[in-house]
Amino acid sequence: MGRLLAIDFGRKRCGIAVTDILRISAGGLTTVATGELIAFVKDYIAREAVDYIVVGHPTTLRGEPSESMRYLTPVINRLRKEIAPMNIVFYDERFTSAIAHQAMIDGGMKRMDRRDKAIVDEISATILLNDFLQSKYCT
């Protein structure tokens, strides 16, 4: 059994999270520039056993695809080609950034540290992956 890797996609940078090998919990891995995402993922899956990749699916409150999809779709399509036959699944990412901000506050992180968008992206990817794990294995 391999790890699951999550991507919280952004136009400038992407938060990355992974599960432990037993898929019990997820943890933040890093944040990478969006232009380096494909190379990073290819390198990571060459070193680590990854069964599939979970990508945050940006939607509006009505459940419709958000504006971000127009930037996300070409990158993910290219990633699919580069890492075939690796499975890539989309999972609803609504509210992950808001939850990440609240987790930072609850954790006692200083205001200046909370302004670091890279930290927010990494925490958002972790929340996305933990939500995915709960939905996948607890239902």
Rounded to the nearest 10°, the torsion over CA 33, 35, 40, 42 is 160
Name the residue with higher pLDDT: 55 or 102.
55
| pLDDT value at residue 53 | 97
Structure confidence by residue, pLDDT tens digits, 31-51 = 999 999 999 999 999 999 999
CB 126 within 8 A of CB 19: no
pTM: 0.87
Three-state DSSP string of the chain = CCEEEEEECCCCEEEEEEECCCCCCEEEEEEEEHHHHHHHHHHHHHHCCEEEEEEEECECCCCCECCCHHHHHHHHHHHHHHHCCCEEEEEECCCHHHHHHHHHHHCCCCHHHHCCHHHHHHHHHHHHHHHHHHHHHCC
Please work out, in degrees rounded to the nearest 5, the angle formed at the alpha carbon of residue 116 by the alpha carbons of 70 and 130. 65
Structure confidence by residue, pLDDT tens digits, 58-110 = 887 787 878 888 999 999 999 999 999 999 999 987 666 666 666 667 777 77
| pLDDT value at residue 97 | 66
| pLDDT value at residue 114 | 63
CA–CA distance, 123 with 96 (Å, rounded to integer): 8
Structure confidence by residue, pLDDT tens digits, 13-35 = 999 999 999 999 999 999 999 99
User: Nearest Cα to 2, choosing from 65, 51, 54, 72?
Assistant: 51
| pLDDT value at residue 66 | 82
pLDDT > 50? residue 138: no
